[in-house]
Structure 1
Amino acid sequence: MSHVHRDRKKLLTRVRRIGGQVAALERALQGEADCSDVLVQIAAAKGAMQALMIEVLKGHLNEHVVAGKTEAVRAREAEAIMQLLGRYAR
């Protein structure tokens, strides 16, 4: 069983929290929120997304890279992560 499926409940809890933060950001933008309040909401949503990314990435590294069955599998998975991090850092 994949780590994403095994940790589904915990990950979905994080996603729902992110959804709440994005909804709060939308309400702030629709209302008359001060720009500093909007910036705080953006920072909170970004932090929550980063925490979700790290959580899934840790599971992926442990399950698919560290515990990869062969050197070829580990190398392929490591390369996929490097490409992902390159896109994520943009």
Structure 2
Amino acid sequence: MTHTITGSAKLLARVRRIKGQAAALEGSLGEGTECMAVLQQIAAIRGAVNGLMLEVLEGHIREHLGPDASAAQRAEDTEAVVAALRSYLK
């Protein structure tokens, strides 16, 4: 997955933001923050994770399912993407 290597700085920045959001959520729960504020934090984390998933998935599709991929490689990677999406969307 070279797309995760070439874009690793960008992806790691996203992960660090998510990590910070999760830490803030943990602090909010420990402090007894109002429910709506907690719900907003959870929604923000979910959006950030979805954005990360989209970024990695798009890179994978473009690199492994693009015009340069063989039919066999395309079929194999399509199944891998479908499996990942099924797991993610459970």
**Shorter-chain-normalised TM-score: which range?**
over 0.9
Deviations 1:22-51 (A, max 9, x none): 001000000020011110110000100000
* Alignment partner, residue 45 of structure 1: 45
Unpaired runs of 5+ residues, structure 2, are: none
How far the C-alpha of 1:71 sits from its partner, in A, is 0.2
1:61-80 correspondence runs (5 A): 61-80=61-80
Pair 1:7-2:12 in alignment? no
Name the CA distance, whole Å, in 1 between partners of 2:44 and 2:20. Answer: 11
Aligned to 1:89: 89
The residue number in structure 2 matching 1:30 is: 30
Q: TM-score, normalised by structure 1?
A: 0.95
Q: 1:69 deviation in Å?
A: 2.9
TM-score (norm 2): 0.95
1:12-23 aligned within 5 A:
12-23=12-23
- Give the alignment's Cα RMSD to 1 decimal: 1.2
Answer yes or no: is the 8 Å Cα contact 1:68–1:74 preserved in 2.
no
Matched residue of 1:66: which SS?
Answer: coil
- Structure 2 counterpart of 1:79, which letter? E
Q: How far has the Cα of 1:67 moved from its partner?
A: 4.1
What amino acid does structure 2 have at the position aligned with 1:23?
A: A
Question: How high is the sequence identity, in percent, across the aligned residues?
Answer: 47
1:57 lines up with 2:67 in the alignment: no
